[in-house]
Amino acid sequence: MQHIHSKDIFYLLRDTLKLFDRRPIVHGGKVAYYVYMMLKQKGQLEPKSRLENFELADIIYLATFHDIGAYKTDEMEQMVRFETKNYQPHSLYGQLFFEKMTTIGDLSKVILYHHTDYAVLSKMGFDQSELTSYINFAEAIDIFKQSLGAKFSLDIFKKNVGTKFSPEAFDLFLKADKEHDLFERINSRAYMDEISEVMDFFIMTNEDKEKSLELLMFTLALKSTIIIDNAAVCVALCEKLGALMKLSAEQKKDLLYAAYVHDIGFIAFRKDWLENPPDLSTAYLDKLSQHTLLMEQLLKDRIKREIIVIAATHHERVDGKGYPRRLKEKQMNLSQLILQFSDAVAPMMKQEFDKEELIAKIKRQTEAGQFSQAVTKLFIDKFDEIAIDTKVRSNAMLNHFKEINRQYEKSIKETDI
Ligand SMILES: [Fe+2]
Ligand SMILES: [Fe+2]
Ligand SMILES: [Fe+2]
């Protein structure tokens, strides 16, 4: 059976980032719609350049997340500023993030140049310059419309057509707007249904889907790099323990996917609480338990039910003292017990640790009723093999991400942005 449909991956990513901050995604959704309508208009005028629906779906995906870099590099309160003046950081980070983490990395340069003036762009010999110039113009429309409100008119762009903005993009937008009243479709939210219809044609291979769920996990890294270290070790531990416990291929996949997504609810969490958890006050504990419920809401009807069931119990404990539902061991399956164990043990394994101390601690916690006896026994019996494999696998995942940060810092220094 399908673990997740391609279209649901798009919506899951969109809604997860919306919980981080909705502004870049709402903006991205409108930009995606404008670009889509410009391309459709072009297809009507020049049938040879008409794109297939699956190509349009990729472009909608790209355009929706074109400002993803800003989650890492900018304060959202400064959106007008980073979209009009200081735009290099988010363009550069966005390009690197897209290239390394998404399945449409070959389009990532569009992100890098999405603020480049048309006059420069058109002379660069860049093969995606047309699409980039459409995003560039669509983006300006939305930013200026947001800032100027009722005073906004397309006439304000006229003097910059041919220099800042593509004449073709301007022309196509004007024609599309005349025919379809694009701003009205945005206001009435009808545009969302049109986008949804195209996204029915979004296609991902199983490999792409797995990479995209890993990407979903890495959206947390845009907020905090500390939390992502634990998440990667947890995924690696789940994989190793699932294999040693001889889960079926289907169960292993469910467990892996659950491990990727189990903490995405943390995206709505305060950054300082993620990095330095406060004392266990009631306010903090209330918030803490919400991250699993938020994750369930995000995943509901979007991913295979068994995956949600596993992810939803990652803070339950075998003695019934976990949260949010206080389930007991007999109410849970082996995959759930593995994820609980891995999630709790991952932070203990991420840095240099003393093997004897670690094992003693896990034994104590298991005897106190926290973890499954069977999972703990296997972990201790095969400790050396598990520790090495987990380190190799989690480092491979994290290195990808660290490379983005390394390249970003290097480029920022070189260009003195
Ligand atoms: Fe931007
Ligand atoms: Fe933008
Ligand atoms: Fe959690």
d(CA 239, ligand 2 centre) in Å: 38
φ, ψ at 339 (rounded to 5°) = -65, -40
d(CA 137, ligand 1 centre) in Å: 11
d(CA 333, ligand 1 centre) in Å: 45
pLDDT in tens, 345-389: 999 997 778 999 999 999 999 999 999 999 999 999 999 999 999
pLDDT at position 288 is 82
d(CA 146, ligand 3 centre) in Å: 37
pLDDT at position 280 is 67
Amino acid occupying residue 13 = L
Residues 6+ apart with CB under 8 A from 352: none
d(CA 388, ligand 1 centre) in Å: 41
Ligand nearest, relative to CA of residue 322: 3
pLDDT-derived band at 240 (thresholds 50, 70, 90) equals: very high
d(CA 316, ligand 3 centre) in Å: 10
SS3 content of the chain, % helix, strand, coil (to 5): 75, 0, 25
Ligand nearest, relative to CA of residue 135: 2
pLDDT at position 75 is 83
d(CA 80, ligand 2 centre) in Å: 9
pLDDT-derived band at 412 (thresholds 50, 70, 90) equals: confident
d(CA 342, ligand 2 centre) in Å: 38
Neighbours of ion ligand 1 (CB under 5 A): 67
d(CA 234, ligand 2 centre) in Å: 34
145 burial (CB, 10 Å; 0-12 / 13-18 / 19+) is middle
Residue 66's nearest CA partner among 39, 100, 38, 26 is: 26
Instruction: State both tokens at 399.
Output: 């290195």
pLDDT at position 60 is 97
Ligand nearest, relative to CA of residue 140: 2
User: What is the percent of the chain with per-residue pLDDT over 70, rounded to a whole number?
Assistant: 99
Provide the whole-model pTM: 0.93
206-407: CATH architecture: Orthogonal Bundle (1.10)
pLDDT in tens, 128-176: 999 999 999 999 999 999 999 999 999 999 999 999 999 999 999 999 9
pLDDT at position 416 is 61
The pLDDT of 111-124, averaged and rounded, is 96
pLDDT-derived band at 238 (thresholds 50, 70, 90) equals: very high
Confidence check: pLDDT of 58 > 80: yes
Ligand nearest, relative to CA of residue 95: 1
d(CA 402, ligand 3 centre) in Å: 23
Ligand nearest, relative to CA of residue 23: 2
d(CA 115, ligand 1 centre) in Å: 6
Mean pLDDT of the chain: 93
d(CA 295, ligand 3 centre) in Å: 10
d(CA 40, ligand 2 centre) in Å: 21
User: What is the percent of the chain with per-residue pLDDT over 90, rounded to a whole number?
Assistant: 82
d(CA 292, ligand 3 centre) in Å: 6
Residue 97 near residue 404 (C-beta atoms within 8 A): yes
36-43 contacts at long range (C-beta below 8 A, 24 or more positions apart): 36/60, 36/63, 36/194, 36/195, 36/198, 37/173, 37/176, 37/180, 37/182, 38/134, 38/138, 38/169, 38/172, 38/173, 38/176, 39/134, 40/176, 41/172, 41/175, 41/176, 41/179, 42/168, 42/172
d(CA 143, ligand 3 centre) in Å: 36
Lowest mean pLDDT among 84-93, 151-160, 180-189, 274-283: 274-283
Ligand nearest, relative to CA of residue 63: 2
Confidence check: pLDDT of 217 > 80: yes
Ligand nearest, relative to CA of residue 32: 2
pLDDT-derived band at 1 (thresholds 50, 70, 90) equals: low
Alpha-carbon distance of 23 to 228, in angstroms, equals 23
Ligand nearest, relative to CA of residue 146: 2
pLDDT-derived band at 326 (thresholds 50, 70, 90) equals: very high
pLDDT at position 352 is 75
Alpha-carbon distance of 355 to 375, in angstroms, equals 17
Ligand nearest, relative to CA of residue 94: 1
pLDDT in tens, 242-293: 999 999 999 999 999 999 999 999 999 888 888 777 776 677 777 788 899 9
pLDDT at position 231 is 94
Most confident of 61-75, 231-245, 257-271: 231-245
pLDDT in tens, 40-53: 999 988 999 899 99
Residues 6+ apart with CB under 8 A from 351: none
d(CA 86, ligand 1 centre) in Å: 10
Alpha-carbon distance of 236 to 221, in angstroms, equals 17
Alpha-carbon distance of 136 to 138, in angstroms, equals 6
The pLDDT of 195-199, averaged and rounded, is 97
pLDDT at position 116 is 96
pLDDT at position 2 is 80
pLDDT at position 415 is 77
